[in-house]
Structure 1
Amino acid sequence: MWTRGVEWLAASAADPRGCKWEWDHGEGIALLEAGRFWDVLSVPDRLGLLTLDLLWGPALPVPGPTLVDTAAERVGFFLPPDPAGGWVGAGLRYASRGAWVAVPPPYRPARYLEWLVPPDGTGALHAPGALEDALRQANGTLAVLAPLYGR
């Protein structure tokens, strides 16, 4: 089941075999370059988890690959490459061509990294428009809740 996701993700590595070896026998994390097959939009974890929840609507397609970094308290959404890198905003980090992303294998967590939605191997990614809409909605919800939680 995970084979297609492993092959798809490892294909973005300079050395796909070395990448898979690192996942199975090394530290369990590979550094992969963004910008060729995918970019990553990283957001604070509260915003990212609420956004992902909104993207799981019953009439919506399954969300694209999504990674959580519990040490950095961030959620990363894998998107189609965007040469313009048009994602800006407070707390947003955008990894595109020339940026490297630490990635565990799709079949298990590694240290502080874990797939919330692992890649399925089809190349499906988050749709930028749907992700932007969900981020706006989640951000609005968090803004309303912030006074209740002292943030």
Structure 2
Amino acid sequence: MDHNFYDDGYLTDILKSVKSIALVGASPNPSRPSHGVMGFLLSKGYHVIPVNPGQAGKMILGQKVYGHLGDIPERIDMIDVFRASEYLAEVVDEALALSPRPKVLWTQLGVREESSAVRAEQAGVQVVMDRCPAIEYPRLLGHHPVH
């Protein structure tokens, strides 16, 4: 897949179909982009699970933080990645080790690493790179909650 362009229908289908989102790189700091995006996703009715080893066991926006994807005791539909591009291979390793696997790997603005995206896609995971769901959601779905 060409990760420079995504069809609006592809993005809309993802945003409408996922319910649980693991947010990798979640921050308790309100000035961090991940904090704002997590709050936005929660406000739209998604179940958001923050992932951050340094914050494991604490709470961010009322949600329990897990240290790693593999520590989350429930099914994850989508992983939203707020980590630098060089960490994406590690996130994909963790994601592909999950059972069941998440349906979607979504990386935030500026997060791109083609070989990791290809590995995820070859394992049947849909990939969106270098996009922000808090930008795409209002653009594609307006202000209505999806659930």
Task: Please classify the TM superposition score into its range, dividing by the shorter chain length.
Answer: under 0.3
* TM-score relative to the length of structure 1: 0.27
* TM-score relative to the length of structure 2: 0.28
The structure where strand makes up a greater share of residues is 1
Greater Rg by CA? 1
Higher relative contact order (CA 8 A, sep 6+): 1
